[in-house]
Amino acid sequence: MLTGIHFLLTYKCTYECDHCFLYCSPDASGTFTLSQIKDVLADADKIGTIEWIYFEGGEPFLYFPLMVEGIRLAKQHGFKVGVVTNCYWATDPESATLWLRALRELEIDDLSMSDDPFHYEGDDISPAQKAVLGAQSIGMDCDTICIEAPAVLTKSGIEIAKGAPVISGSARFRGRAVEKLTAGLPTRPIDSFVTCPYEELEKPERVHLDNTGNVHICQGISMGNMWDIPLSELIDRYAALQHPITGPLVAGGPTRLAQSYPVRLEGNFVDECHYCFAVRSALRTQFPELLGPPLVYGVV
């Protein structure tokens, strides 16, 4: 059951992280208009099962007034609201409260702040920790998210460069993570990727929306364009097995997706997402409405 709608408010970000599966960067541009946000929220009401609205990116604080108004409207519709941020704005705890007070007044339900070496490597306390101190000083709850770099785990749990093919860490090998994080990791044969391990493709619990209209089931796999067909109708019509990309993925994972068209790729692949992303990249121009936007595939 679909319970969450996540606005990718923008692909623009202050950082260009190695693990980013959307290829966000300072060079990306664009955001939603206020009227588009209003339309989506009205349509979310029609779906009838939505509980949560998230604002994320990219970095949603780059469009702070728009994000704040989006939160206000989402609360007005009766949804719970979450925000995910890299905390670039938290220059010190007291200054962070200037940003946080607006969110506290709107009674947001989840504030998740990225705090890991992908987002900050300095000696000082991280922006996220400054934001946490700021939030605590005004009695506001918040959480931090830590993405660990992938490494190979041995049976004893000691991380080494090469060894047993068990990969630790929560980074997913899609988008820029494929380019930046897969080197040196063990690989598997292409006929072994027969499931999608991380997404409920048949019954998605949440979708991500971008300002070009894509309704992402997994990053870069779209149900269709909500500026052409209303979101509630796309959700209603979606049948994973009939979708040209999720159909094969549900039936037999990335291996089946490659066999279905067919796509023949050179090289080795670390896991399901790595092979899936490579196969989808090869199919992107064949299914431009369903595999996009190009930026998410590293194409600008």
Residues of this chain that bind ligand SF4 (CB under 6 A) = 174, 196, 198-199, 218, 221, 249, 254, 272-273, 276-277
Residue 99 vs 287, nearer CB to ligand SF4: 287
Identify whether the C-beta of residue 256 lies closer than 8 Å to the C-beta of residue 250. Answer: no
Residue 83 vs 167, nearer CB to ligand SF4: 167
Closest contact distance (angstroms) between CB of 184 and ligand SF4 is 21
Residue 12 vs 172, nearer CB to ligand SF4: 172
Residue 97 vs 281, nearer CB to ligand SF4: 281
Closest contact distance (angstroms) between CB of 199 and ligand SF4 is 4
Closest contact distance (angstroms) between CB of 218 and ligand SF4 is 3
**What is the bridge-based pairing of β-strands 166-168 and 159-160?**
unpaired
Burial of 53 (0-12, 13-18, 19+ CB in 10 A): buried
**Could you tell me which residues are beta bridge partners of residue 8?**
56
Tokens of 12: 């623009």
Specify the residue for token string 């949440």.
206
Closest contact distance (angstroms) between CB of 220 and ligand SF4 is 8
Closest contact distance (angstroms) between CB of 154 and ligand SF4 is 25
Residue 196 vs 231, nearer CB to ligand SF4: 196
Q: Residue 116's closest CA among 86, 83, 91? A: 86
Q: How far is CA 284 from CA 28, 262, 277, 292, 294, in A?
A: 20, 13, 10, 7, 8
